Amino acid sequence: MQAAILVKDAMTKPVLIVGPTHTLRQVAQLMSARRVGSAIVLDPDGAGVGIMTERDMLYAIGAGVDPDIEHASGYITWDVVYATPEWSLEEAAMAMSRGGFRHLVVMDSDEVLGIISVRDIMRVWAQRRAEAGAAV
């Protein structure tokens, strides 16, 4: 029987970090350049750790805001569910399923370690399945 895969083994790092004063266009350009679907938002004034996803960006642009003027601060999810690096991928997948989101910020105490997405989980599970099939 194979051991459970942990979040720390599948998460993406380093993460893209932006501030709440970045414009939507700046965040979109950074996400595009890094080919990621989310950015961690750190607020130096104490709001903590948030996340901005491609879905948040889509809703903002769909609402007709000017991406060169609007700041990320109005479109950040601050009520973030965090994973620990020791969670299993099953625990992460269940948290995403229950919450209806596709990204979890991975934290240890107050430190952002990475991010895990549905894509990361699918990639690892597919690799594990392929390896198990090759071993037969």
pLDDT digit string, tens, across residues 93-133: 999 999 999 999 999 988 899 999 999 999 998 988 888 77
pLDDT digit string, tens, across residues 75-94: 888 888 899 999 999 999 99
Omega before residue 44 within 30° of 0, cis? no
Q: What is the pTM of this model?
A: 0.84
pLDDT surpasses 80 at 70: yes
pLDDT digit string, tens, across residues 3-19: 788 999 999 988 999 99
Are 85 and 79 spatial neighbours (Cβ–Cβ below 8 Å)?
no
For the residues of 72-105, what is the DSSP string, one character each?
GGGG-B-S--EE-TTSBHHHHHHHHHHHT-SEEE
Tokens of 59: 């809703």
CATH topology of domain 7-135: CBS-domain (3.10.580)
**pLDDT, position 77:** 84
**pLDDT, position 136:** 55
Q: Residue 35 — φ and ψ, nearest 5°? A: 60, 50
